[in-house]
Amino acid sequence: MKYVKKFFSALIGGFKAILMGQLLLKLKIERFFIHILYTFLMFWLAILCSMMVQNTLVEIEKNKAIISEMKIYHAQKTLQLVKMGRLETVEQQLSRRGSKVASPEKPAVTIEQ
């Protein structure tokens, strides 16, 4: 009975120390305060670095998606350019639209000054 009473009084004292912010003082840990502060700082830096790496990886994934879209767009434009470069295709488009422009019939003449 005596030990139970002692246990509960110690438990209540510890709870009061936690509420009053004196837990570290009651446990006589003030001599290790610098080490505790250093450990807290190291954990905080580790979490910060982890978050920075995660943000970088998210940005890389977004950029990969944009690059793949740009590659598709580039391939489509290259295909269109190759098709437009063919003389027959150009002539067909011009005749379809009723243009008077056609392939030259005689070579170009140089104008002298």
- Write the pLDDT tens digit of every residue in 41-93: 999 999 999 999 999 999 999 999 999 999 999 998 888 877 766 777 777 87
Q: How confident is the model at residue 39 (pLDDT cuts 50, 70, 90)?
A: very high
Q: Domain count of the chain?
A: 1
Q: Is residue 101 part of a domain?
A: no
Specify the higher pLDDT residue, 20 or 56: 56
Q: How many CA atoms lie within 13 A of 11 on its CB side?
A: 6
CA proximity to 71, closest of 60, 79, 83: 79
DSSP class per residue in 56-68:
HHHHHHHHHHHHH
Range of the domain at 59: 2-96
Residues 90-103: what's their mean pLDDT?
79
Prediction pTM value: 0.49
pLDDT of residue 110: 78
Contacts of 103 (CB under 8 A, 6+ apart): 87, 91
Q: Is residue 103 part of a domain?
A: no
Pairwise CA distance, residues 78 & 70, whole Å: 12
Over 80: is that where the pLDDT of 103 sits? no
